[in-house]
Amino acid sequence: MNTAIWIIQGLLAFAFLMAGAMKLFQPKEKVIASGGAWAGDFSASNIKIIGGLEVLCGISVIVPKLLHHGHYLTSIAASGIAILMVGAFYTHFRRKEHPFLLVTGILLLMALFVGYYTCPAIAK
């Protein structure tokens, strides 16, 4: 089970570091042009905030457990990813962007899995 958790944590970290960096370091127009039509509904500063949160969660979902310190932070980061994915799911559902719902749902389930199994109260 520990190997599965590490693999999923790594996938979440990679996905959120890449997606967050794209939102954080590219202008709104480039985010929209690269397939993020949803960004048209948000201000440039909101997109930067979302990107920053994704980068922070991407780092936090793996680093604390990697350093064997603050395991609860991994669970909190995974919960943060789950919250972001609920918002993303709602945005894509509202915009009728059905292909993105599957990816968003899978990321949500992965985050819930990591959050549950890295929670210190449950892991014991």
Give the integer Cα–Cα distance in Å for 44 and 29: 9
CA R_g for the chain? 15
113: left (phi over 0), alpha (psi -120 to 50) or beta: alpha
- Residue 82 one-letter amino acid: A
The whole model's pTM is what? 0.89
Q: In this structure, what is the dihedral angle of CA atoms 13, 84, 24, 38, given to the nearest 10 degrees?
A: 120
Identify the pLDDT of residue 124. 56
Domain count across the chain: 1
Identify the pLDDT of residue 85. 96
Identify the pLDDT of residue 21. 96
DSSP H helical segments within 26-117, as ranges?
Answer: 28-33, 44-60, 63-66, 71-94, 98-117
Identify the pLDDT of residue 28. 95
Which SS3 state, helix, strand or coil, does residue 43 take?
coil
Per-residue confidence in pLDDT tens, the chain, 124 aa:
789 999 999 999 999 999 999 999 999 999 999 988 999 999 999 999 999 999 999 999 998 877 877 778 889 999 999 999 999 999 999 999 998 999 999 999 999 999 998 887 775 5
Give the integer Cα–Cα distance in Å for 80 and 82: 5
Structure tokens at 33: 């042009």
